[in-house]
Amino acid sequence: MPSFKKIAVVGVGLIGASLAAAFKKYLENVKVLAVDKDKEVIKKAEELAIIDRGFTEIAANLNQADLIFIAVPVAKIGTVVREIAENSSQSQLIVDAGSTKKAVMLEAREILKNKPQRFIGGHPMAGSHNSGIDWHQADLFIDAPFILTPMLEAPALETELCTQKEGILKALSSREKEDLKVLEEIIEKIGAKSYLMSAEAHDHKTAFVSHLPHLLSSGLVNLIEQQQNKGDFLELSGSGFKDMTRIAGGSAELWQDIILSNKANIIQALDEYQQLLGELKTALKAGEQQKIYDFLARAAELKKN
């Protein structure tokens, strides 16, 4: 079974810095390397002792890393994978932390063709509307889902909504199964809960539980901005408005990449949500009290469970 003694993190923002800190806190006898284009970020990471050594470029600096986590915006993951592959002839496992998976997996498959590196898609379902190393937490991943999407041999499997772990494992080689097992152990040690599924299944599900909520939060903020005397609205807002709009404060650049890379699934989620709101609007116009009550009661019961 593979043993990862040198782990590298590319991109030392909130997620990358938190991963590095978690590895240092919860893994024994592991050296943590890091790459970030901002030398001040690397300096701070070294001062905080969440990494053993940092660099401002990949070049040959990560050749000795057994395991490399890529924590950069979705649109830049492929570039990083290519740079790692071009600068190393070592057998390394690469895992990304992007919020969408299918496009990333297909690009990585093409880049790593005939290369010694292996790739497993990853997505820690943890984070904050804040960004940057200053907001990192070693315990950020405690009890959070950490989704893994292996590089399935048959391209057809990538397009299926495959969520059964047993079915996916059957399509993997013994080495890929070993990689997954060790990766799941690392995920468990930093406090997260691993989930195995296809890239397609990941993108479909996260469109509803992650990407759509962000758009709704942003939409609510933009709606208030359009109102006359918007300051009056904000002065009257309570915890409900603050809770629902917290995530709207996230990076627009980061979220634009996420939304565009998963647009088909998000369009479906928006269509279904609009249909639900349309039915509610019709019930309101008709004064159908029972339908309105059922709408609210069903959601309340589901939330409690």
Q: Are residues 187 and 286 in the same domain?
A: no
Residue 1 lies in a domain: no
Check residue 232 and give its pLDDT: 87
The two structure tokens encoding residue 18: 């938190």
Q: Are residues 146 and 167 in the same domain?
A: yes
Residue pLDDT, tens place only, 259-297: 999 999 999 999 999 999 999 999 999 999 999 999 999
| Calpha distance 291→43 (Å, rounded) | 59
Q: Are residues 28 and 174 in the same domain?
A: yes
CATH code of 109's domain = 3.40.50.720
Q: Which of 197, 224, 247 is the last residue of a domain?
A: 197
Q: Are residues 169 and 207 in the same domain?
A: no
Q: Are residues 132 and 212 in the same domain?
A: no
Does the pLDDT value for residue 155 go beyond 60? no
Secondary structure, 3-state, the chain: CCCCCEEEEECCCHHHHHHHHHHHHHCCCCEEEEECCCHHHHHHHHHCCCCCEEECCCCCCCCCCCEEEECCCHHHHHHHHHHHHHHCCCCCEEEECCCCCHHHHHHHHHHCCCCCCEEEEEEECCCCCCCCHHHCCCCCCCCCEEEEEECCCCHHHHCCCCCCHHHHHHCCCHHHHHHHHHHHHHHHHCCCEEEECCHHHHHHHHHHHHHHHHHHHHHHHHHHHCCCCHHHHHHHCCHHHHHHHHHHHCCHHHHHHHHHHCHHHHHHHHHHHHHHHHHHHHHHHHCCHHHHHHHHHHHHHHHHC
Check residue 156 and give its pLDDT: 45
Does the pLDDT value for residue 187 go beyond 80? yes
| Domain boundaries, position 56 | 6-197
Please provide the average confidence, as pLDDT, over all residues in the chain: 92
Interval 108-121 mean pLDDT: 95
Q: Are residues 242 and 193 in the same domain?
A: no
Residue pLDDT, tens place only, 6-53: 999 999 999 999 999 999 999 999 999 999 999 999 999 999 999 999
Residue 219 lies in a domain: yes
Going by DSSP bridges, is the β-strand pair 118-124/145-150 parallel, antiparallel, or unpaired?
antiparallel
Name the domain count of the chain: 2
Q: Are residues 48 and 180 in the same domain?
A: yes
Q: Are residues 88 and 225 in the same domain?
A: no
Check residue 256 and give its pLDDT: 95
Residue pLDDT, tens place only, 244-265: 999 999 999 999 999 999 999 9
Share of the chain above pLDDT 70, in %: 95
